[in-house]
């Protein structure tokens, strides 16, 4: 399960950050997830809670903020914002697009208690 693998890497990052900060508890974790990522947000949040259960981030509140994607349009010769995979270029309506952002996930905020 894809979301479980992502959750494991999130918790790895959270736990190593908490260790470096000398924190014994993490109260909140903010994630940023590109709109083009093929990830089920509810499943991701569930998996984060599951994986976090035995560590410093047990009971932490996980939140996900979605970020717009971006693709290079071969017809416009410009980067365009893309809100979904398979969508047409919002400027010219073309499909000759190469996604270059929006599939990534990042840990953007870790609140320690």
With respect to Zn ion, which residue has the nearer C-beta, 41 or 91? Answer: 91
What is the smallest separation between the CB atom of 43 and Zn ion, expressed in angstroms?
A: 33
Q: What share of the chain is helix, strand, coil (3-state, %, to 5)?
A: 30, 35, 35
With respect to Zn ion, which residue has the nearer C-beta, 57 or 80? Answer: 80
**Residue numbers of the site for Zn ion (CB under 5 A)?**
73, 75-76, 89, 91-92, 94
What is the smallest separation between the CB atom of 84 and Zn ion, expressed in angstroms?
A: 15
With respect to Zn ion, which residue has the nearer C-beta, 44 or 97? Answer: 97
What is the smallest separation between the CB atom of 100 and Zn ion, expressed in angstroms?
A: 14
Nearest residue to 57 (alpha-carbon basis) of 45, 65, 41, 39:
45
Q: Specify the pairing of strand 61-67 against strand 26-34.
A: parallel
With respect to Zn ion, which residue has the nearer C-beta, 60 or 71? Answer: 71
Nearest residue to 105 (alpha-carbon basis) of 38, 17, 16:
38
What is the smallest separation between the CB atom of 87 and Zn ion, expressed in angstroms?
A: 11
Q: How many CA atoms lie within 13 A of 28 on its CB side?
A: 6
């Amino acid at each position: 399960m894809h979301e479980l693998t992502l959750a494991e890497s999130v918790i790895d990052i959270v736990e190593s950050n908490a260790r470096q900060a000398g924190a014994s508890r993490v109260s909140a974790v903010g994630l940023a997830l590109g709109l083009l990522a093929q990830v089920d947000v509810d499943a991701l949040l569930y998996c984060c809670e599951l994986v976090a259960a035995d560590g410093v981030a047990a009971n932490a509140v996980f939140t996900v903020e979605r970020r717009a994607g971006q693709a290079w349009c071969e017809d416009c010769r410009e980067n365009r914002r893309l809100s979904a995979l398979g969508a047409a270029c919002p400027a010219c309506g073309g499909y000759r697009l190469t996604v270059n952002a929006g599939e990534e996930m990042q840990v953007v905020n870790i609140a320690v208690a």
